[in-house]
A and B are shown apart, each in its own frame.
Chain A
Amino acid sequence: MAEMDTSSGGGHKKGPGVKKGKKLSTRVDLTPMVDLGFLLLTFFVFTTTMSQSTAMNMNEPKDDKEQQMKVKNSGAMTILLGKGNQVYYYYGQLMPETISQDFKSTTFKGIRELILEKKKATPIDDLMYIIKSDDKSTFKNAIDILDEMTISAVPPGHYAEVPMVEVEKMLIQKTEEANGIK
């Protein structure tokens, strides 16, 4: 390997005039090289990010007016996505008298708990999440909320994307103004 036999001819006697050359070892200390090797190795392993893109399935409903589903008020939760990663929600239907109490705001951190809570409190047949995205919300928000559905194991068909109505847009705008979200 990194060693070489430097001893000459098995130790037999040399003549009186022959000087013995100094034996030099050719053995190299490989420790620094090993250090370097592993250092580079660790560096490359840690800096390489696995950039395997994944794909999420999307199923869009057919736009059939006749196939409009009737949703029970008791089982419905409407989630609205606003700008600045804000999430608004209400249960059932908005009643004009109690709008200010029913219409609540949260963030993506808080919505998971609420989705789960609703899921546990409602018989599965009645459960329906209605997702509405504001024009100011981002693509990320739309994907994140669908991801939240997956995370909370909401079965497909129990959540749907629906266009937002004027009242809700107005409510979002009001809340945004009140909370100072730009």
Chain B
Amino acid sequence: MPKVKIPRKSTVVDMTAMCDVAFLLLTFFILATKQKPPEVLSVKTPTSVSSKAAPEKSILITLTKEGKVFLMLGDETKKNAIIDDFNTTRALGLTTAELNKLKKTEFIGLPVNKLKSALNLTQEIPPTLMDGIPTDSTNNELSFWIRSVTNAYKGEDQRNLQEMILVKGDGEALYPIFKNVKEALKANEIFKFRIVTEGEAVPMGSELYKTGTSEKN
């Protein structure tokens, strides 16, 4: 029998293509990942099964672990109007320079009586050292801020405003602070708002899981 000669093939595979793919994916993932903006106030939000994404542009009320309340006006087009309105309705008597300085700050977290002196400081107070906006029932300054917000959006579609109002709270913040924030919103006829949460999977076997809808509330 003649031997059938099987030609020996090299087992070396050209790795170049694979290498290309690996690094292409690597670069893609690195570049496509959006870097989380550094948070000035560290807030660990509770989780919920809600799957709706939080809007980017928002009027954000932040509750910290220590129970301080901060306001962040994310809508640049209205920010100036809100601050001007607050200045006139609360009769703060801020000068134009002071107003401009206030408009540039990201977090509003000072009681009214400390606002003017803080704006005259050469150095900006870091949010972690701010006192927070008072929300207690006797002096709920947050409701005045919200009043200015609603004034600025007067005559526009109120649903847009509802979409934008976000409450972001640290899980460890005590309930009364949240209650005060709710009071401040309710005092301004805002009954619908949103709470920023961390996404969570719907538990297996629960009623919601069975219905298969991720539509909330």
* A81 cross-chain contacts in B, Cβ below 8 A: 175
Within 8 A of B (CB), among A117-156: 119, 133-144, 146-147, 150-153, 156
The segment from A30-38, A71-79, A86-94, A167-175 found at the interface with B is A30-38
Interface-centre pick from A61, A137, A143 (highest chain B CB count, 10 A): A143
B175–A139 contact, CB under 8 A? Answer: yes
Majority DSSP secondary structure for residues of B touching A: mixed
Q: How far is the CA of A48 from the CA of B216 in the complex (A)?
A: 27
CB distance from A37 to the nearest CB of B (A): 3
Q: How large is the interface on B (under 10, 10 to 19, 20 to 34, 35 or more residues)?
A: 35 or more
- Whether the pair B49, A151 counts as a contact (CB closer than 8 A) is yes
Classify the secondary structure of A's interface with B.
mixed
**A3–B27 CA distance with the chains assembled, in angstroms:** 25
Residues of the A chain whose Cβ atoms lie less than 8 Å from the Cβ of B30: 44
Query: Residue A2 at the B interface, CB < 8 A?
Result: yes
- Asked if A40 is an interface residue, CB under 8 A from chain B, the answer is yes
Cα distance, A134 to B176, chains bound together (Å):
8
Evaluate contact between B177 and A139: CB separation under 8 angstroms: yes
Contacts of B196 in A (CB 8 A): 53-56
Is residue A26 contacting chain B, with contact meaning CB distance below 8 A?
Answer: no
Question: Is A58 engaged at the interface, CB distance under 8 Å to the other chain?
Answer: yes
Q: At the interface, yes or no: B208 with Cβ under 8 Å from chain A?
A: yes
* Chain B hits for A133, CB < 8 A: 175, 179
Residue of A nearest to B189 (CB): A62
Chain A interface: which size bin? 35 or more
Query: Which residues of B sit under 8 angstroms from A52, Cβ to Cβ?
Result: 53-54, 199
Most buried by B among A31, A54, A133, A153: A54
Could you give 29 example pairs across A and B, Cβ below 8 Å? Answer: A34-B15, A34-B19, A34-B22, A41-B25, A44-B29, A50-B199, A52-B53, A52-B54, A53-B53, A53-B197, A54-B48, A54-B52, A55-B52, A56-B217, A57-B192, A57-B195, A59-B191, A59-B217, A60-B186, A62-B191, A112-B206, A119-B207, A134-B175, A135-B174, A136-B174, A137-B175, A138-B173, A140-B172, A143-B48
- What is the interface of chain B, defined by CB distance below 8 A to chain A? 14-16, 18-19, 22-23, 25-26, 29-30, 33, 36, 45-55, 63, 166-179, 182, 185-186, 191-200, 202-203, 206-208, 211, 216-217
Which A residues contact B (CB, under 8 angstroms)? 1-2, 29-31, 33-34, 37-38, 40-41, 44-45, 48, 50-63, 81, 112, 116, 119, 133-144, 146-147, 150-153, 156
